[in-house]
Chains A and B, each alone.
Chain A
Amino acid sequence: MRKIIAKEGETVKVGEPIAIIADAHEELPDLEIADDKSPEKQEESSQVIMQQEDRTEDEKETIPGKIKASPAAKRVARENQIDLSKVTPSGPNGRIVEKDVLAYIQENKVRATPVAKKIAMEKQIDLKSLQKSPVERITKADLEEQMMMQEEESTIPVIGMRKIIAESMTYSKKVAPHIYLSLEVDMSKVIDIREKLIPLVQDKYDVKLSYNHILIKAVATALRLNPLVNSSFTEEKIILKQNINIGLAVALEDGLIVPVIKDADKKGLGIIAKETAELILKAKNKKLLPDEYQGGTFTITNLGMFDIENFCAIINQPETAILAVGKIMKKPVVVDDEITIRPMMNLTLSCDHRAIDGAVGAKFLQNLKEILEEPMNLLL
């Protein structure tokens, strides 16, 4: 044995030399022999290397990021929306040919109802992952189940109410420069009067009087004193609305709607309470008629029930102001230089500065505060 070529434990292809057996005086063949450095031998060994390189030509031809596929394979892949990188090539030089793509399609064929296929396409769900057995068809129900499971991944189409909300909120913020005015109201007397009125209203109108009902009445009264806040803005003119129609934002499962209590300034608390309760019920059941959520002149939005202390609302165009109402909270306040505990409620008025200047909004808010802190004013 003159030379060992393959190392111990190395995997060698069939037909490749692993060692050279020869007599001591015999010249060695032209194989790569590292320790034999004569110029002649070097030249010869480089030829051997070239031959070896030829053998790996196929692999060298591959350009990273490029997939070798015949035009027909590419066409079939395109027509069937197949990612060629997932297809195993069988053609020469690692080329994907048409039959490879067809085989891939066959292998990955999923049986599904047309509706299921349509939904899967829309929601980008891989139908293959849902396959139960090769014969059973995937149905719409299977997909819905899957969609429930992947809740965080699921999407909500921006259509219908969502689309209207998205468009009108964006529009309002775009066209109306909002200013925000905020103050706190001592609700002690409202609480007292409500306690007293609850049984009466219950008796007469069969409805439980809420703070919102009182707020609607109070706001309507304050608006009568501040007509500019009860207006709508156009490029040419500000329209001071004759009627005071108070909208009340009502949260729904998939959005919100604003039913309108018409002529709230002219109605008594009982009527307001009854109408409001009915409208809210209708809103939650999605039974509101267009007439019942259109024509508002001012909006109240109350997130107190969610423990929100204060927030800034976006004006419901073409109105010029909206009142955001926070939670009634007991707070230490200073009254006559004494710290005392009072039920306080934050009110934040968003005004469209194109129509309402800070002082005008502030005046309204101040009037509202006076009414709420001395609810007897409602009688005036």
Chain B
Amino acid sequence: MAEKLYIEALREGLREEMLRDEDVFIIGEDVGLYGGAFGVTKGLFQEFGENRIIDTPISEAAIAGAAVGAALCGMRPVAEIMFFDFFTIAMDQLVNQGAKNRYMFGGKAKVPMVIRGPMGCGTGAAAQHSQSFPAVFAHFPGLKVVMPATPYDVKGLIKSAIRDDNPVVFAEHKLLYWTKGEVPEEDYTVPIGKADVKRQGSDITLVAGSIMVPRSLEAAKKLEEEGIDVEVIDIRSLKPLDLQTVVSSVKKTGRIIIVEDDPISYGWGAEIAAGIAGSEAFDYLDAPIKRLAGLDIPIPYNPNLEKHAVPQVPDIIEGVKEVLR
């Protein structure tokens, strides 16, 4: 199996879907000739032309609104928002239109769209270009939310997202774009709403998402040297949430840390913690549920401070040791 970059796998997924279904098109800022701010759509303009790779003015509300409208009319748009931070501008179209239309039209209308973009800190992009808040969208009925962590998953999930008849928020951590992983040549999908055990272990369960998955795996590798056997679950989808995979794991390990890139308050880790506390796994908990997440602060511009704003590998190692103490 060939090793590919996350960004390549994502592009491959988009391209294959565009080849497979002529209703699929891409809309966003600089997605055309420039190939996207991070280069996700590089080459697609040349291949598919301006009718299927549409550059827009700088208006996320317009991008999202156009995507919702096109989807209602039978197209399958993939809208790119240049930075996840600006999902807030697209939010009204997404939350009040995209998420509601299918329900309000009694199932007669459907909104098969994907809205995707890069999130997260670590590039020195400061407070307005560094945020991770996919959990915000998981709050709204009618939206699906995924955040693939590996090249394999990003390709499989973008295909599932495009083929899904509901609006899907697709969160990509910008530090993941240049990570490598095996990606099969053949067509495949990864189901939305299914977590993935990325590493089997017996001592403690780490539930991570997006960039925190490779960080948790790295921490697990280091902890293995100290004889600590860590299980790492990639939650992959925030909505629908696959709690059962986490419950089964906690029943085995008795300990859990949820590792999030989002700010800690009201984050998806709290959702999982509450789910575990109310599940059959409760009786198997041998230590309090712990959360490692972003601090409740805007992401600082100072690179050292920026690093400390979200969990890093040493924080995860320390957290595991604390829970196992």
Question: Which chain A residues have a beta carbon within 8 Å of chain B's beta carbons?
Answer: 70-75, 91-92, 97-99
Can you sample 16 A-B contacts with CB below 8 Å? Answer: A70-B254, A70-B286, A70-B287, A71-B282, A71-B283, A71-B284, A71-B286, A72-B254, A72-B283, A72-B284, A74-B283, A75-B284, A91-B325, A97-B286, A98-B254, A99-B286
- Distance (whole angstroms) from the CB of A106 to the closest CB of chain B: 17
Main DSSP-derived SS at the B contact region: loop
Tell whether, in the assembled complex, residue B286 and residue A92 are in contact, meaning their CB atoms are under 8 Å apart: no
Interface size on B, residues (CB 8 A): 8
With both chains docked as a complex, state the minimum distance between the C-beta of A345 and any C-beta of chain B, in angstroms: 72
Instruction: Kindly provide the distance from the CB of B204 to the nearest chain A CB, expressed in whole angstroms.
Output: 13
**Which 8 pairs between the two chains have the least Cβ-Cβ distance?**
A72-B286, A75-B283, A98-B286, A71-B285, A70-B286, A72-B254, A97-B286, A72-B284
Say whether A73 contacts B325, CB under 8 Å: no
Bitwise, B273-291 to A at CB < 8 A (1) or not (0) is 0000000001111110000
List A contacts of B285 (CB < 8 A): 70-72
When the two chains form the complex, which single residue of A74, A75, A91 contacts B287, counting CB atoms closer than 8 Å? A91
Residues of the B chain whose Cβ atoms lie less than 8 Å from the Cβ of A74: 283
Compute how far the CA of A260 lies from the CA of B292 in the bound complex, rounded to whole angstroms: 86
Write out the residue numbers on chain B whose beta carbons fall within 8 Å of the beta carbon of A70.
Answer: 254, 285-287
Q: Chain B residues near A99: list those with CB within 8 A.
A: 286
A72–B255 alpha-carbon span in the complex (Å): 10
Name the CB-closest residue of A to B325: A92
Interface residues of B (CB under 8 A from A): 254, 282-287, 325
Which residues of chain B come closer than 8 Å to A92, judged between CB atoms? 325
Instruction: Tell me if A's interface is mostly helix, strand, loop or mixed.
Output: helix
Distance (Å) between the CB of B57 and the closest chain A CB? Answer: 55
Residue of B nearest to A95 (CB): B287
- Whose C-beta in chain A lies nearest to the C-beta of B254? A72
Which B residues are in CB contact (< 8 Å) with A71? 282-286
A189 to B313, CA, bound (A): 111
Which residue of chain B has its CB nearest to the CB of A92?
B325
> How long is the Cα–Cα vector from A74 to B286 in the complex, in angstroms?
9
B284 partner residues in chain A, CB cutoff 8 A: 71-72, 75
Interchain nearest-CB distance for B69 vs A (Å)? 50
> Which residue from chain B places its CB closest to the CB of A98 in the assembled complex?
B286
Residue of A whose beta carbon sits closest to that of B286 = A72
Residue of A nearest to B323 (CB): A92
Cβ contacts under 8 Å, A73 to chain B: 286
A97/B287 contact (C-beta < 8 A), A72-B254, A92-B325 known: yes
A74 to B282, CA, bound (A): 11
Q: What distance in Å separates the Cβ of A105 from its nearest Cβ neighbour in chain B?
A: 15
A17 to B287, CA, bound (A): 35
Q: How far is the CB of B289 from chain A (nearest CB, A)?
A: 10
A72 CA / B276 CA spacing, docked (Å)? 13
Residues of A within 8 Å of B286, CB to CB, are 70-73, 97-99
Within the assembled complex, what's the spacing in Å between the Cα atoms of A308 and B284?
Answer: 66
- A92 vs B323: C-alpha distance in the bound complex, in angstroms? 9
Residue of A nearest to B285 (CB): A71
Residues of A within 8 A of B254 (CB): 70, 72, 98
Question: Roughly how many angstroms separate A231 CA and B254 CA in the complex, as a whole number?
Answer: 74
Closest Cβ of chain B to A38, distance in Å, is: 40
**Within the complex, what minimum Cβ distance (angstroms) separates B84 from chain A?**
37
Kindly name the residue among B282, B285, B325 whose own CB sees the greatest number of chain A CB atoms within 10 A: B285
Which of B283, B286, B287 counts the most chain A CB atoms within 10 A? Answer: B286
A91: chain B residues within 8 A (beta carbon): 287, 325
Residues of chain A lying within 8 A (CB to CB) of residue B325: 91-92
The CA-CA distance from A72 to B286 in the complex, in Å, is 5
Chain A residues whose C-beta falls within 8 Å of the C-beta of B282 in the assembled complex: 71
> Which residues in B have their C-beta under 8 angstroms from that of A97?
286-287
Known: A72-B283, A75-B284. 4 other contacts (CB 8 A): A75-B283, A91-B287, A97-B287, A98-B254
